[in-house]
Structure 1
Amino acid sequence: MAAFDFSAFLLGVTVLFGVVWLIDILFLAKPRRARAEAAGTEIAEPWPVDWARSLFPVILVVLILRSFVAEPFRIPSGSMMPTLDVGDFILVNKFSYGLRMPAFNNKLVANGEPRRGDVVVFRFPGYRCPDGNGHVVRSGDMTCQDPTMPVPSENWIKRVIGVPGDRIETRGSDLFINGERVAMDELGPYKGDPKQPEDSLLMNYGSKLYTEHLGSVNHTIALTPAYNMPMDIPNAVVPSEVPKGCYIVMGDNRMNSTDSRWWGCMPEENLVGKAFFVWLAWRGFDNGVTGIFDFSRMGKVIH
């Protein structure tokens, strides 16, 4: 999920307003009152101080809620269909895996780790590319032609498939965890809105829906072999065994998801939180099936 780094902006504005208000309290307010009393006029606060005093508490509360409680995100692509659709607005629990510093994302308080089946939001780590000197680096270039390309500041969402120590293998549509094939039950062909590009793609290529039994989590995935067949695991950039401090993540739209099969494991320090709720489902104005909003998805618990 590509996004402007609002957390960094919010942190910066909070610090700025707090500093302005504090400087005024410590150094400027008392002389200003004295001048006003001497002149027999009302105290007139400069507009920066008035804004800082009024907005600092509000922005601080918003920063705390977004950083430590829940943060909203919008789904921009179909990689998590059918679980999450383009235009879904979700809430992410920021406390599920510990408290992290706003903007910097370093962990302050530990509170559990992701489990298989969790739907997680994370900062995109970049593609693993050889740098030409015998090392592997993270790059924003999917082709690895430019290993020095900066990794874009984006938030992505996928499902945790493998946790540290797991042995993950994929063979076409089949997924194996620690040597055992993950069971699936066929539900039937994908049916959606032909006016929506992502729905149309799945239907045109004969996508089928399955219930995947990922441990204790049962969820729906879409398989579309006629459209694309991603690289198997293990491959040149993804070993079979998940290393410590990393997770293998995949989209529920298995044949149309750029995920760990392409760029390797997702580092633990990149975690943002656990997705848990769809609070709004926007479908646009040109939608004859569900209308502007898809009320059937609003209020859905993500699992």
Structure 2
Amino acid sequence: MNFALILFVALVITGAIWLVDALTAGRNRPHDAKLPILVDYSKSFFPVILLVFVLRSFLVEPFKIPSGSMLPTLKVGDFILVNKYAYGIRLPILNKKIIEIGQPSHGDVMVFRYPKDPSLDYIKRVIGLPGDTVEYVDKRLVINGKPVELAAAGEYSYVGNGLNYITGQTWHEQLGNHDHIAMTQYGIPPVIPYQVAGDFPYRDNCTYNDQGFKCKVPSGYYFMMGDNRDASNDSRYWGFVPDANIVGRAFMIWWNFGEFSRIGHFIE
């Protein structure tokens, strides 16, 4: 469901009804006269819809985390806020960038439209920038030939609604300016080659084997991975994320019905 499009249509309809009435029957209507019900609703809802549309399109948009691919950073049921202007101002609906403000950096947690189905929003961490070479071999991440700094952070386990019991090893990981926790799971390989899609753009930039993969990120694209490294459906399987698919940078957990202590937690 394209909620931005629905908001836009509602905005146009309510605004048009209010404007047409103001230019026709409303011009001669007594100040204290009762408005037709359709005009009354349109006049009441138009400012609210406009405010929500502007805030959601250009400033901040809420999302809910649906899966465990970003564990332990984000849990199923976390409601997060996404900065819509961090990577530039984009026209709503068309998603065309009109003002350049910033670019994604290594380690950013980013929301984007899934390349194989742009109606779906995904959230992962930025691992590779345009021109980078990303390797994940024997569960060790290497960027441009340099292993990413790691420090053991202990075991981690998680049980969520509808999820199997998850357990693994966590690591302090330094990506750019982000010091966060990533996770590897026992008994799961770094990549499952037969699950890799064979038709994504620049597929020839990647090589795979039982030990892992190596990908060269093309210009204008990004390589994304989940913090739950061995249980994430990400760029290793379906390819690179084009700049045009970027939605924004996740920066805060604003609600979680099951764990109130997570509310207000900023995302590293």
TM-score (norm 2): 0.88
Q: In the aligned structure 1, how far is the partner of 2:86 from the partner of 2:184?
A: 29
Residue 140 of structure 2 is aligned to residue 174 of structure 1: yes
2:172 corresponding residue in structure 1: 211
Match of 2:130 among 156, 159, 164: 164
Which has more strand, going by share of residues? 2
Q: In the aligned structure 2, how far is the partner of 1:89 from the partner of 1:195?
A: 15
Alignment CA distance shift 1:211-1:59 (3 Å): same
Runs of 5+ in structure 1 lacking a partner? 127-150, 283-292
Local SS of the residue matching 2:67: coil
1:188 corresponding residue in structure 2: 154
Residue 217 of structure 2 is aligned to residue 242 of structure 1: yes
* Deviation string, structure 1 residues 147-189 (Cα, Å, up to 9, x no partner): xxxx261111000001111111221311111111112111111
* Deviation string, structure 1 residues 116-137 (Cα, Å, up to 9, x no partner): 00000011111xxxxxxxxxxx
Supply the AA of the counterpart residue of 1:175: L
Local SS of the residue matching 1:13: helix
Match of 2:187 among 208, 211, 226: 226
* Residues 105 and 176 in structure 2, CA contact (< 8 A), matched pair in contact too: no
Match of 2:6 among 4, 9, 13: 9
Alignment CA distance shift 1:195-1:272 (3 Å): closer
Match of 1:294 among 252, 259, 262: 259
- TM-fit CA distance, 1:216: 2.5
- TM-fit CA distance, 1:235: 9.5
Match of 2:57 among 67, 75, 84: 67
Residue 71 of structure 2 is aligned to residue 81 of structure 1: yes
* Deviation string, structure 1 residues 260-291 (Cα, Å, up to 9, x no partner): 00111111111111000001112xxxxxxxxx
Local SS of the residue matching 2:217: coil
- TM-fit CA distance, 1:108: 2.1
Q: Out of 87-96 and 47-56, give the one that drifted further.
A: 47-56
Q: Out of 69-78 and 217-226, give the one that drifted further.
A: 217-226
* Residues 188 and 230 in structure 2, CA contact (< 8 A), matched pair in contact too: yes
Q: In the aligned structure 2, how far is the partner of 1:195 from the partner of 1:75?
A: 12
- TM-fit CA distance, 1:86: 0.1
Q: In the aligned structure 1, how far is the partner of 2:170 from the partner of 2:204?
A: 27
Q: In the aligned structure 1, how far is the partner of 2:225 from the partner of 2:78?
A: 18
* Deviation string, structure 1 residues 69-88 (Cα, Å, up to 9, x no partner): 11110001000000000000
TM-score (norm 1): 0.78
- TM-fit CA distance, 1:30: 2.6
Runs of 5+ in structure 2 lacking a partner? 206-214
Local SS of the residue matching 2:46: helix
Q: In the aligned structure 2, how far is the partner of 1:265 from the partner of 1:44?
A: 57
1:266 corresponding residue in structure 2: 241
* Residues 238 and 260 in structure 1, CA contact (< 8 A), matched pair in contact too: no
- TM-fit CA distance, 1:238: 6.0
Q: In the aligned structure 1, how far is the partner of 2:123 from the partner of 2:135?
A: 21
Instruction: Name segments (4+ residues, structure 1) moved above 6 Å.
Output: none
Q: In the aligned structure 2, how far is the partner of 1:19 from the partner of 1:254?
A: 49
- TM-fit CA distance, 1:197: 4.8
Supply the AA of the counterpart residue of 1:118: D
Supply the AA of the counterpart residue of 1:69: L
Q: In the aligned structure 2, how far is the partner of 1:229 from the partner of 1:241?
A: 17
Q: In the aligned structure 2, how far is the partner of 1:238 from the partner of 1:45?
A: 64
Larger radius of gyration: 1
- TM-fit CA distance, 1:97: 0.8
Match of 1:93 among 63, 83, 95: 83
* Identical-pair percentage: 43
* Residues 76 and 160 in structure 2, CA contact (< 8 A), matched pair in contact too: no
Q: In the aligned structure 2, how far is the partner of 1:190 from the partner of 1:278?
A: 20
* Residues 238 and 263 in structure 1, CA contact (< 8 A), matched pair in contact too: no
Matches for 1:112-123 after TM superposition, within 5 Å: 112-123=102-113
* Residues 152 and 170 in structure 2, CA contact (< 8 A), matched pair in contact too: yes
RMSD (Å) for aligned C-alpha atoms: 2.1
